Structure 1
Amino acid sequence: MADLLLPLASSPVATQQACFVMVDLVGSTALAQRLPVDHYAALMAEFVQLLYLSFEAHGGCVLQHQGDAVLAFWPQDQAEAAVLAALDAHGRVARLRLAGLLGLSLQLRGAVTSGEVITGHIGGQLSAYGLPVNFARRLCGGAQPGQTLVCQIVQSGCAASARLEFGLLGEPLELRDFGEICEVYEARRVLRDNQMKVG
């Protein structure tokens, strides 16, 4: 068995600091049970394509999608863009054309994390490995429908933003494999008087 393992790299692998956005669709299993399979597949295709285009428009790079979840990343110094992309995704998905035709109201959960990772191409696809990726998945799972949660590093990186505000969650969040996380924030856009709140 040992001879099947790949050799370790002879030189240190370069790491980078990055922000990760994870969003997933609330109630996708119920939708899959409710809709004809061709309708569900078309809806998921439009959903994923919309998020790819939206995240790339904000300067992000989509790493992967798995069914109803999409993961993208930004350099750590672009934390504000990452959070804005996550917040914008809520409104964009709520206005998804095919969902409207099917009489559906869609909602997302979102999360933004940050930290050190290794990136590289595996099987021809860009991938990232490191704790922030796992944390983004868990934090997204802990968000309420319509909510975007961020870690303390992301919140600090956006402290000077005039477009974002953050509210510390009143209770610690219990996340599988991470335990009790006390410093988790809900991200919101700073709105002017003539704007309606979205995401």
Structure 2
Amino acid sequence: MNDLLLPLPAPQGEHLSACLVMVDLVGSTVLAHRLPLEHYAALMAEFVQLLILSFEARRGQVLQHQGDAVLALWSAAHTSEAVRAALEAHERAARLGLAGLLGVRLQVRAGVALGPVITGPVGGQPSAYGLPVNYARRLCDAAAPGETLVCERVAQQRAEDLRMIGRSLPPLRGFGPECRAYTVQSSPALVLSPMKTG
């Protein structure tokens, strides 16, 4: 029987310790009902572009986006930059010009997780696989509107200007009850990073 099994392909891509950030727009379905389709599509495109530019300005690499959510990766050495990018996403979304013109205020939630992943192209797009990808998604889902949740490993690497406050979690699908999360707050001195314009 074993003779019929094909050998597994050799792992493709790069192994690295990485910090994953997932940012999700709160209430996008309500917006889709409320706005004309053309306005909604334009708003989503501007929102995603804003996050891509702000993440790249802080050395992140955007892996994917699905309408109202963006996933990005930083090397573990730049974890504090990843957390700051997640925090900045809240203010950047709230100040989005097109949203103001349309009479809506955008709010996001974010999840940040750290650990080993394998990265590489899939279908011509950069991708990452590993528990931190799933964990960042689960933390993002568990975050309240306007909140950034980070895992314990991220909290252990905190920068001086970031305050971590322990937070109880609902059960996270696929993760045990021992998972700990922290709400991140920045000092008032945190300044938005400049974004690339070209």
Fold match, TM over 0.5? yes
Residue 122 of structure 1: aligned partner:
122
Residue 168 of structure 1: aligned partner:
166
Please tell me whether the aligned partners of residues 22 and 137 of structure 2 are also in contact (alpha carbons under 8 angstroms).
Answer: yes
Give the deviation of 1:14 after TM superposition.
4.2
Q: Deviations over 1:59-116 (max 9, x none)?
A: 1000000010000010011110000000001000000011000110110000110111
Please tell me whether the aligned partners of residues 24 and 140 of structure 1 are also in contact (alpha carbons under 8 angstroms).
Answer: yes
Residue 15 of structure 1: aligned partner:
15
Residue 188 of structure 1: aligned partner:
185
Aligned residues: 187
Match runs of 1:8-157 below 5 Å: 8-10=8-10, 14-157=14-157
SS at match of 1:180: coil
Structure 2 gaps of 5+ residues are 192-198
The two structures, once aligned, show a CA RMSD in angstroms of 2.0
SS at match of 1:150: strand
Structure 1 gaps of 5+ residues are none
Give the deviation of 1:174 after TM superposition.
1.7
Structure 1 distance, partners of 2:179, 2:14, is 31
Structure 2 distance, partners of 1:7, 1:21, is 34
Give the deviation of 1:25 after TM superposition.
0.3
Structure 2 distance, partners of 1:180, 1:124, is 37
Give the deviation of 1:183 after TM superposition.
1.6
Alignment TM-score, normalising by the size of structure 2: 0.88
